[in-house]
Amino acid sequence: MNENTGRPSLTQRLSDPRPALILGTLAWAAAAGVVIVTGDRWSNVFPTTIAGVVVGCLGYGLFTLQRRAARRGSRGAQQGLL
């Protein structure tokens, strides 16, 4: 239970952002694959799908850096990422 609010805290499985980051990035990659396979590679949708993959990869990289900093005990790191 969370001491400050009196509400139960989330389990580790529900508070872990890795599955959402991975599934979201894979969904954008699948959408890019569909656009490539259909042959309409330079439609208005293709740049959006590539941007989704890039943002997903950047987000996962940032999460990894924050988690590494939290594990080594850096003062500026987010809490609860261990």
Closest CA to 80 of 19, 16, 7, 6: 16
pLDDT, position 25: 94
* pLDDT tops 80 at residue 14: no
pLDDT, position 81: 57
Global pTM? 0.71
Cβ proximity of 28 and 52 under 8 Å: yes
pLDDT, position 24: 94
Give every CB contact of residue 27 below 8 A, 6+ residues apart in sequence: 52
27-69 confidence digits (pLDDT tens): 999 999 998 888 776 678 889 999 999 999 999 998 888 888 8
* pLDDT tops 80 at residue 13: no
